[in-house]
Amino acid sequence: MSFLTDLDTVSWFILEETKKKTIYCIILERSFNKKKYKKCSLIVIIFKKTENKSQIKHSDN
């Protein structure tokens, strides 16, 4: 399974450790489920930041 990400768009140093761990766990769980149940071979994770909020998009083939 391959991953495409744009991790450099996130200012990781300003996030609290608990938020980092939560984001990591969510992405890990979603990726595991996509591989196991959808049999995908590529996962794309997109981090998008607007003025006052951040979004994470998670898609597959």
Closest CA to 20 of 8, 31, 10: 10
**pLDDT tens for residues 3-57?**
666 667 677 788 889 988 998 898 889 888 888 888 888 888 888 877 778 788 8
Q: Show the domain range for 52.
A: 2-60
Three-state SS annotation for the chain: CEEEECHHHCCHHHCCHHHHHHHHHHHHHHHHHHHHHHCCCEEEEEEEECCCCEEEEEEEC
Q: Which pLDDT score is estimated for 18? A: 92
Confidence of residue 1 (pLDDT cuts 50, 70, 90): low
Residue with tokens 């489920």: 33
Q: How many domains does the chain have?
A: 1
